[in-house]
Amino acid sequence: MYAFATRALRRAIARPQTVLRFNSTQAANSPHRLYVGGLAYAINDTQLAQEFSHCGEIVDATVSLERSSGRSRGFGHVQFATAEGAAKALEEMDGTYIEGRAIRVNPAREREQSSTGPRMPRNPPSSSLYVGNLAYETTQRAMEKLWGGHEGFREVWVPKTPTGEGRGIAFVRFEDTESARMAMESVGSPTVDGRQIFVDFATERREGGADRRGGRGFGFE
């Protein structure tokens, strides 16, 4: 009897309570599937699901791992059971902080695009760019080296925490929108300091709105 109870307890502990796993093909093709970028390396599948669980029922949450080392690639996917859950996550979670890093949440595209290729811009065009999924140790100099050679470049800003640690994001300002667009298309989504960055147009911060991504110096978020 005690052996049976022990086995049952182990199964209960091992079985996820809020996440139901679908097969990979079904998950990849779901319209309720979201891409989550900018994740800290320490985040695992369970933690990812917990962070989004208040938005609705989750049927799949997966952190993408490197095949050779098993190390996190800094992004993952969350699939909701309903469109309402996915919409709530897009509204409430994009730009929030998990383990000290600003995350980016977008509707997932085809598996090849969401995991390896550069994603399409989500925000309306502007003369400044938002750079996400940076390593904490990425410096101002590294960002200036990446962007400084592009036409119309003006300045770059890497926000820091009060203790001087990077926030995992940067902002790049250009002379005009066309220069920013050309630079974004040229740079793509390279790997910087071991993390694949993603780039989008920076959006103007609303008056009185929360400065969620640390963009106060540029007036963008």
Domains and CATH numbers, the chain: 2-115 (3.30.70.330), 128-201 (3.30.70.330)
**Are 32 and 85 contacting, i.e. CB atoms less than 8 angstroms apart?**
yes
H or E stretch covering 132: strand 128-132
* Burial class of residue 130 (count of CB atoms within 10 Å of its CB; 0-12, 13-18, 19+): buried
Mean pLDDT of the chain: 77
Tokens of 102: 């600003």
Residue-wise pLDDT for 165-185, tens only, equals 888 899 999 999 999 998 988
Of 4-13, 145-154, 186-195, 199-208, the poorest mean pLDDT is in 4-13
H or E stretch covering 91: helix 83-93
Over residues 17-38, mean pLDDT:
60
**Are 183 and 167 contacting, i.e. CB atoms less than 8 angstroms apart?**
no
Give the number of other Cβ atoms within 10 Å of residue 143's Cβ: 20
Over residues 2-21, mean pLDDT:
42
* Burial class of residue 221 (count of CB atoms within 10 Å of its CB; 0-12, 13-18, 19+): buried
- Choice between 6 and 81, residue whose per-residue pLDDT is larger: 81
pLDDT at 1 exceeding the cut of 50:
no
Q: Say what the pTM is.
A: 0.48
Q: At what angle do helices 177-187 and 140-147 cross, to 10 degrees?
A: 100
Of 27-31, 137-141, 162-166, 201-205, the poorest mean pLDDT is in 27-31
Q: Which residues pair with 160 in a beta bridge?
A: 166
* Short-list 184, 180, 130, CA closest to 152: 180
pLDDT the model gives residue 66: 79
Residue-wise pLDDT for 101-127, tens only, equals 888 888 876 543 444 445 556 778 899
- Choice between 207 and 118, residue whose per-residue pLDDT is larger: 118
Tokens of 16: 């996820």
- Choice between 204 and 203, residue whose per-residue pLDDT is larger: 203
